[in-house]
Amino acid sequence: MTAARRIAVLGGAGGIGRALVGALLDGGDEVVVLDLAASLERHPLGAPSIAIDVLSETSIGAAMQELARRFPALDGFVNLAGYNSRIQPLAETSTDYFDDVIAGNLRGAFLSTKAVMPLMAEGGSVVMVASGLAQFVRPGYGSYAAAKAGVVALTKTFAHEWAATVRVNAVAPGLVDTAFLRGGTGRSNENGESVVALEAYRNAIPMKRLAYPDDVVGPIRFLLGRDSAYMTGQVLWVNGGGYMP
């Protein structure tokens, strides 16, 4: 019988996160969820949780210390944290908003991955979640696209630097039908109006639909598992054919 893996999911209370945590638990893994306190309160999960705010290096450090007490060695770490609440031209983007998006999506990914690496067991797997916008840039998403392009660069750099012991890969989805489209879990009204023109987006996708959380969960589980044991520094594009590199 295969031993249970120990996996931490950052952003595990979000739409994709909840689906991923459920799938991992169903598969017999031990999971710890890290997310904003408000998100954890709104979406209690059947797994231990630790409050974290990726905008705060102090919060990240405290959360990793608590994680180390629970799981002295991790087999997997998934970074799902990220948000974007506006679609606007870069020329009309305020410096404060640009800085906030970079901090929440890129700086937070850097700090959390840097902090979790010493906790990873040999042979472990880190999965970053980027975005198709990291390569397939579209008008109005400049801040977010820049941040996620940075996440891809972080993924490849960490993969080089830790290749002897830990694999680091990324999943880059297109739009997924979750609260992210309304500003993000814990940061917005999850039932509010989407910031994206969804009908126009669907019509531009060869498969004519948005992704569902499970469409992203499968690729993440693949990268966490032994079937991808010889993969590191790679990006899986999950977008219904909307972007074909």
Instruction: Supply the DSSP string of 22-58, one letter for each residue.
Output: HHHHHTT-EEEEEE-HHHHHHS--SS-EEE--TT-HH
* Six token digits for residue 22: 């459920």
CB atoms within 10 A of CB 42: 14
| C-alpha gyration radius of the chain | 17
Of the listed 83, 144, 230, 243, which one is catalytic? 144
Query: Catalytic residue at 144?
Result: yes
* Six token digits for residue 144: 């977010």
Q: CA dist 45 to 14, 109, 229, Å?
A: 11, 23, 29
Active site residues: 144
